[in-house]
Amino acid sequence: MSDAAWGALTALVFLAGCGAGRFVNVAAVRFGPREYLGEQLRSLWRPTPHEAAMTRGRGLSKLPVLGWFLPSHPLAAAPLRDRIRPALVELSAGALLGGLFWQEVANWRTWAPLGGPFLPDVARAFECPWDASFTFALHGAMLLSLLTASVIDLRRLLIPDGTTIPALLLAVVASLSGRLWLVPVWFEEGRVSRFAPVGARPDVQPVPEWIFEHPHLHGLAASVAGIVAGAGVCWVVRWIGARTLGREAMGLGDVILMAMVGAFVGWQPVLTVFFLAPVAALAVVVPAKLYDAATGKAASAEFPYGPWLALAAAFVVLFWQDVWPAVGPFFALGPFVLLAGLTIAVLLAVMLWLIALVKRALGIDVDHWPAGYAGWSSADTLTYLAAESDDLNRPARAPGRPARPWPGSAAGRGRLHADRWRHGGPASSSPQFRPDVRR
């Protein structure tokens, strides 16, 4: 095909991506307020009237991007910034899918020079002329999931499971095709064998033979290794931060998000994503903090990290052939990669411990929890729920109340069995715990 034809197809994919961005906006509106995965997924076809009104359009107002600014849109009377944000989300979705199509399908510029599903030195699981389209569809699903998680994280400082777990499961199943990985799950330079004992220096092949013989199992192994590496490195940083600084450096949503990315790309790319994300975060967050300090605006100590992980993941997938020459020599060290990882973790722990010591010496409080705090207890939960309700017999109207009625509040007030006896069911069937029953 000519370049003009590929350009036209890319433009069509861009428009389709803008349409997919409307689904991203719908998921961002409906997933955010819900805590559980099942509730988030059910909200896609069972929204509340308010959520349905926010995402419903009429006529031309259903058009992506431009529809938000038409007079017929339900949010036409809303402030302009409330319409610019979803339009930018849809535009970003189109740009991501269009760029991915141009890189993966039109130019085949995603796979590392070492090997990949399209290189002749790697055995194919099956011959299929649509290999590039298959991988493009899967990576597109990953990018849309990352975009949805980023939008919610920017608004609510949390990443719902509905934005990551379904995509993670999709990646694990698709990995059995043997063509989702970017780099073989294991390889090393032959020169590494010189460090082995003199009598045990085998001829080390760059890529193990079993990868060629069992491409389906290799695809699954690459995906599982990516999950372990992505979630593991985030969990280690989270644990070290909690032990040295008294606070978690990363949220659990970030851990699952990195596991999802690793399931799609493998363990070497996901570690590259982890080390590139701070660069993207510092480039934006530091100027924003300096601006807040200069203008006297109160700045929060927390900021969402998921969007920067997502941005780094998109960059790695789109430009992997350009990124790989810089990081490939490190991953070619074989067993020494694990040793280097352990060394980095120890150095990080020592550095954070020294930072905590310096803060204490300067009189800066680093203990973010009260002395003797043992965690959130059942009494804390009951106190929270009681404060959320302005009357014992009326459901709370505060936005912090859980969407699912919780029978523990009746048990804490000593009314659980009385409610069951009076209403013939569990305490949650009582009218005061059912928002659909008016008293």
Q: In this predicted model, what pLDDT tens digit does every residue of 333-348 receive, in sequence order?
A: 877 888 888 888 888 8
| Helical (H) or strand (E) element with 336 | helix 336-361
pTM of the model: 0.76
Q: Radius of gyration of the chain from Cα atoms?
A: 26
Indicate if 261 and 122 belong to the same structural domain.
Answer: yes
Indicate if 264 and 399 belong to the same structural domain.
Answer: no
Q: Is residue 74 part of a domain?
A: no
Q: Is residue 99 part of a domain?
A: no
| pLDDT interval class at 81 (50, 70, 90) | confident
Indicate if 124 and 265 belong to the same structural domain.
Answer: yes
Indicate if 215 and 287 belong to the same structural domain.
Answer: yes
Q: Is residue 294 part of a domain?
A: yes
Counted residue by residue, the chain has a size of 439
What's residue 68's pLDDT? 86
Domain that holds residue 385: 380-433
Percent of the chain's residues with pLDDT above 90? 31
The CA distance from 2 to 12, in Å, is: 16
Q: Is residue 91 part of a domain?
A: no
Indicate if 151 and 251 belong to the same structural domain.
Answer: yes
Using the predicted structure, report yes or no on whether residue 258 has a pLDDT greater than 90. Answer: yes
Q: Is residue 76 part of a domain?
A: no
Using the predicted structure, report yes or no on whether residue 394 has a pLDDT greater than 80. Answer: no
What's residue 261's pLDDT? 97
Q: Going along 370-434, which residue ranges are E strands?
A: none
What's residue 367's pLDDT? 59
Indicate if 398 and 322 belong to the same structural domain.
Answer: no
Indicate if 226 and 280 belong to the same structural domain.
Answer: yes
What's residue 232's pLDDT? 94
The CA distance from 172 to 394, in Å, is: 45
Using the predicted structure, report yes or no on whether residue 418 has a pLDDT greater than 70. Answer: no
Q: Is residue 279 part of a domain?
A: yes
Indicate if 112 and 259 belong to the same structural domain.
Answer: yes
Using the predicted structure, report yes or no on whether residue 204 has a pLDDT greater than 60. Answer: no
Domains held by the chain: number: 2
Indicate if 115 and 242 belong to the same structural domain.
Answer: yes
Indicate if 395 and 355 belong to the same structural domain.
Answer: no
What's residue 349's pLDDT? 87
| pLDDT interval class at 55 (50, 70, 90) | low
Q: Cβ–Cβ contacts within 10 Å for residue 122, how many?
A: 20
CB proximity list for 425: less than 8 A, separation 6 or greater = none
Q: Is residue 67 part of a domain?
A: no
Indicate if 282 and 418 belong to the same structural domain.
Answer: no
Indicate if 335 and 398 belong to the same structural domain.
Answer: no
The CA distance from 68 to 60, in Å, is: 9
| pLDDT interval class at 277 (50, 70, 90) | very high
